[in-house]
Amino acid sequence: MRENGIRVERSKKYKVTTDSDHAFNIAPNLLNRDFRADRPNQKWAGDISYVWTREGWLYLAVILDLHSRRVIGWAVSNRMKRDLAIRALKMAVALRQPPKGCIHHTDRGSQYCSHDYQKLLRQHGFKVSMSGKGNCYDNSAVETFFKTIKAELIWRRPWQTRRDAELAIFQYINGFYNPRRRHSALGWKSPVAFERKVA
């Protein structure tokens, strides 16, 4: 690594994003750490992470299609409320029009367990799946995406404003991660190229 000028990126600040101390219903873990999917719109997974800026925290919610690891829905906000998660889900639904029976997996945070979020899942015929309490490995595909975007984008520079970070995230997801970033799990294809191969 030294010979090639490669250095390790360390995490900066830590923020808890999962509030599982609530009275909402909890769904069983249907995914059970099986992150493989034979086709698009068979299994989706979502989560929320965070970016520190000089203006304060910016929260990022994403939905991934586990078939290709493609980011199919995302949203940002200065507040970690249910509308953030709902906007990411609505983007994914509008883009993909998933068939009934698609598994939708998240942690058991209050945003995902809320009545409004669950109502939207029922309207579109999702099978709801949730991680075990405090078990990050149950949603490791999305955790891996967050680790990747932080190492390749977020931790590489200080962010003056939330808007600066939002624009960079948009460019990273739509200009690099989905169409160009190669994944070993996809036979070194990008998410978009992998989906084209299957189509």
What pLDDT, in 10s, does the model give residues 167-186? 999 999 999 999 999 999 89
Which pLDDT does position 16 carry in this prediction? 46
- Count Cβ atoms below 10 Å from residue 41 Cβ, excluding itself: 18
User: What is the pLDDT, as a whole number, of residue 4?
Assistant: 72
- Ranges of each domain in the chain: 19-133+171-199
- C-alpha distance across the termini of the chain, in Å: 39
CATH class of 19-133+171-199: alpha beta
Q: Please compute the mean of the pLDDT values over residues 145-152 and round it to a whole number.
A: 97
Q: How confident is the model at residue 126 (pLDDT cuts 50, 70, 90)?
A: very high
Based on its alpha-carbon atoms, the radius of gyration of the chain, rounded to whole angstroms, reads 17
The pLDDT of residue 103 is 97
Average pLDDT over every residue of 98-126: 95
> What average pLDDT does range 85-112 have in this prediction?
96
User: 89 vs 22, 185, 187, CA distance in Å?
Assistant: 21, 24, 28
pTM, to two decimals: 0.86
Give residue 199's pLDDT band: very low, low, confident or very high (50, 70, 90): low
What tens digit of pLDDT does each residue of 35-87 get?
999 999 999 999 999 999 999 999 999 999 999 999 999 999 999 999 999 99
Q: What is the mean pLDDT of residues 1-26?
A: 58
- Residue 10 confidence (pLDDT): 52
Q: How confident is the model at residue 133 (pLDDT cuts 50, 70, 90)?
A: confident
Question: Under DSSP, is residue 17 helix (H, G, I), strand (E, B) or coil?
Answer: coil
CB neighbours of residue 131 within 10 Å: 26
125 versus 9: the higher-pLDDT residue is: 125
